[in-house]
Structure 1
C-alpha cells in the first residue's frame, strides 16, 4: 500500500521528525564544509564569522537541486496509463499505476502511455468481388497492450493503424459480393476483417490489440445510387417472379399429379374390364361353337331369336315390310301402356 493511499495512516516519509532532523544536520554540515572551503568558519575564540556571499548562493543552489531531485524521484501513474522509463534515453522498465520511484532527470525519464480503449474512424470507397463500388463507414476500437513496442516500433502508430485497418477492410471487401455485403450489413465480414487487421499489427509489432470493428454504413456512392437501385429492383423483381412461379408450381403440380393418377387408375380399370369382357366373349363363342357343331340348324335358329329379342326388346316401334306391299305398324309402346293400365285397373278392382 502506497504511503498516500486512504487507510495507510500518517506515514509520509517527508514529514517524519527523525528524517527532518537528519536532513537539517546534513544541511548544517554541508554549510559548514562550504564555509570552510570559501574561507568562512568559526574562530578559535568561538566567535562566528560570516561566510562570503558566493558561498551562500552556492549553498542555496545545492539545496534547491537536492529538493528538486527528491521531488523529481517520485512519479504518479494513474490506472489508465503505464509509464515507460528511459535511462539515459534507453528503455529500462515499465511503471504500473500508483506512486513509483525513479532516478531524477536527466538520468531517468518517464513517458506516460494511455492503455484504455480508443477508437479511430474512417470512410472509404472500395471495389467488391463482383466489380461494384461500395462506400463504407467503419470504426476500430483498439488498446495499447505493449507500451514499449507502441513507442519505439513505429514513428506514427496511429497512422499505421489507420492504413492497416483500411487495407484489411479493402482485402475482405474485395473478396465479397455486393449482395452478400448489403444483405448481412457487414456481419459476415467483421470477424475476418478483425483477424486480418490483428495479423497485420502483430507483424508490425506496434503493441496494439484490436478489440472491435464496427461497420456503420454500407451503400453505393451517391453518383451511382440511382442506377444501383434500378439493378437491385430488377433483381428483386426477378426473385419475386421466381417465388411466384415456385408457389404456382407447388399448387398446380400436386393437382396435376392427382389428375394423372386418377386417369391412370381409370385406364387401368377400363383395361381390366375390356380384358374381362373379351375373355367372356371368347369363352361364350367357344361354347356356341361346340353347340353349333352338334346342332347347326337349331343353334342358328336360337341365335337368331336371341338376337331379335335383344334388338326388339329395346325398341318402341316395329315396322314389318316383309311382303313388300303393306306396312305393318306395331305400336309397342302404346300396347305396353295399355297393358300396364289394364293390369293396374284389374288390381284395383280386385282390392
Structure 2
C-alpha cells in the first residue's frame, strides 16, 4: 500500500512539505496516490467513535439521519420578523396568516413557508430621467415627451414614491408579479392622461400642484382596482419644460403672452377708472333732467291752476278782470325793454326827458326801482294812450 500507517497523527507527510491528509496520515512517498480502501476504513472508525455506545454502522447512520432531521425541523419551524417587516405565512403556497414583528413558530418546511416583505420602506421610481450618480441626471425622451391639451409638446420628468399599504402585504405578494414595473407603467399612463387634459401654461407655472395630486389619485385608483396592496405616498414633478429644440421660440411666445397680460391689466385698470366716472356723469345728467322735468310739470300745473282761478274771476267780473290782465301783461312786457316816452299832445313829435332811476341806485335796489318806475310810467302812458 502507498499509505504509511507508522505516523500516528497529524497531517500530510509528503516529500519535503508539511501537507497532511484529512485523517492524520500522509503519503510515504512523494508521488504515490492515496489508498481509497484505507480512507473508507478510517472514516468508518471515526464514525463509530462519534456514535454513542459504539453501535453498528447501519444503526448509527439511522440515528444520525434522525438527529439531522430533528435539527432541520427545529430550524425550519422558528422564524423571526423584524420591526420593519410583516410575516406572511403560507401553507402549501396558500396564505394562512400574517404575523407581527418578533419570534414565531410555524409548521416545518415544506408544509409552511414565510415571506417577510418590508412594509415601511419608501420606494422611489423616476420617470423621464435617470440618475447618473451624484446630483446629475439624464432625460429619457421616450418617457418624458407628452402632448398637452392645447396641442403643445412638453418634456416632463417626475418621481413616484410608494410603499406597501397597511394590511396590504398579502395582496402585494400574491396579486402583483413585478411591483416596480407595474407602478412605473401606471405612473406614466396617469401622467399622460392628466397632461392631455391640461394646458402647457398651467404645467409650467401655477398648475404643478394640481397635476401632482391628480396623478397620485389616478395611480392609487388603478392600483386599488388591481388589489395590489401598494400605496402611493407622493408624486413630485421634477422638470416640465418645452422640448429643447423649440425652447427659445417658446420663451419668445411666453414673453409675448406676458406683454399681452400686462396690457390687458392696464386696459382693465383704465376701464375701471373711466367707466365709473362716466356712469356718475350719466347719473348726474339723468337726475338733472328729472329735476327739470318735475320743475316744468310743476310750473305747468301752477299756470293751469292760475288760469283756472283767473277764468273763474273773469266770469264774475269780465271788465275788471280784462283790464287787470291787460295792465299786468303790459307791465311784464315793458319791464324788460328800454322805454321812450312821447307826448301825444305834440302830435308824436315831442320827446319827454326820462331819467332812469335804476342807474342811481345799487344793482338790487335799482332793478326793483326801475321795474317799479317802468311799471308806473308804462301804466300812465298806456292809460293816456287809451281812448
The TM-score range, normalised by the shorter chain, is 0.5 to 0.7
Match of 1:211 in 2: 233
- Secondary structure (helix, strand or coil) at the match of 2:299 reads helix
For residues 114 and 358 of structure 2, what CA distance do their matches in structure 1 show?
Answer: 135
Give TM-score, length-normalised by structure 1. Answer: 0.62
Match of 1:242 in 2: 268
Check whether the contact 2:314–2:322 (CA below 8 A) recurs between aligned residues. Answer: no
Match of 1:81 in 2: 85
Please point out which of 78, 100, 104 is paired with 1:96.
Answer: 100
CA 1:219–1:282: 2 relative to 1, 3 Å? farther
Please point out which of 288, 295, 298 is paired with 1:262.
Answer: 288
The reply on whether 1:122 has 2:127 as its aligned counterpart is: yes
CA 1:269–1:325: 2 relative to 1, 3 Å? closer
CA 1:125–1:280: 2 relative to 1, 3 Å? farther
- Secondary structure (helix, strand or coil) at the match of 2:340 reads strand
CA 1:332–1:183: 2 relative to 1, 3 Å? same
The correspondence of residues 1-80 of structure 1 with structure 2, limited to 5 A, is 31-32=51-52, 35-37=55-57, 70-71=74-75, 73-80=77-84
Please point out which of 196, 208, 214 is paired with 1:174.
Answer: 196
CA 1:183–1:157: 2 relative to 1, 3 Å? same
Cα deviation for residue 36 of structure 1 reads: 0.9
For residues 72 and 333 of structure 2, what CA distance do their matches in structure 1 show?
Answer: 143
Check whether the contact 1:185–1:218 (CA below 8 A) recurs between aligned residues. Answer: no
- Secondary structure (helix, strand or coil) at the match of 2:296 reads helix
Residue by residue over 1:113-163, the C-alpha shift from the partner in whole angstroms, topping out at 9 and shown as x without a partner, is 111152434343443333344554544332213334323433321121011
The reply on whether 1:328 has 2:339 as its aligned counterpart is: no
Cα deviation for residue 264 of structure 1 reads: 1.1
What are the ranges of 5 or more consecutive residues in structure 2 without an aligned counterpart? Answer: 1-46, 129-143, 366-387
Check whether the contact 1:77–1:83 (CA below 8 A) recurs between aligned residues. Answer: yes
Equivalent residue pairs, number: 292
Residue by residue over 1:304-328, the C-alpha shift from the partner in whole angstroms, topping out at 9 and shown as x without a partner, is 5554444455666524275243433
Check whether the contact 1:316–1:331 (CA below 8 A) recurs between aligned residues. Answer: no
Check whether the contact 1:136–1:216 (CA below 8 A) recurs between aligned residues. Answer: yes
For residues 335 and 142 of structure 1, what CA distance do their matches in structure 2 show?
Answer: 106
For residues 252 and 301 of structure 2, what CA distance do their matches in structure 1 show?
Answer: 71
For residues 106 and 335 of structure 1, what CA distance do their matches in structure 2 show?
Answer: 137
For residues 323 and 95 of structure 2, what CA distance do their matches in structure 1 show?
Answer: 136
Cα deviation for residue 70 of structure 1 reads: 4.6
Match of 1:7 in 2: none
For residues 280 and 205 of structure 2, what CA distance do their matches in structure 1 show?
Answer: 34
Check whether the contact 2:313–2:321 (CA below 8 A) recurs between aligned residues. Answer: no
Check whether the contact 1:74–1:100 (CA below 8 A) recurs between aligned residues. Answer: yes
Residue by residue over 1:85-125, the C-alpha shift from the partner in whole angstroms, topping out at 9 and shown as x without a partner, is 56676666544321233566677654431111524343434
For residues 129 and 335 of structure 1, what CA distance do their matches in structure 2 show?
Answer: 88
Cα deviation for residue 183 of structure 1 reads: 6.9
For residues 152 and 304 of structure 1, what CA distance do their matches in structure 2 show?
Answer: 120
CA 1:127–1:228: 2 relative to 1, 3 Å? farther
What are the ranges of 5 or more consecutive residues in structure 1 without an aligned counterpart? Answer: 1-26, 40-54, 341-351
Give TM-score, length-normalised by structure 2. Answer: 0.58
Residue by residue over 1:8-40, the C-alpha shift from the partner in whole angstroms, topping out at 9 and shown as x without a partner, is xxxxxxxxxxxxxxxxxxx9998247841269x
Structure with bigger RCO (C-alpha 8 Å, 6+ apart) = 1
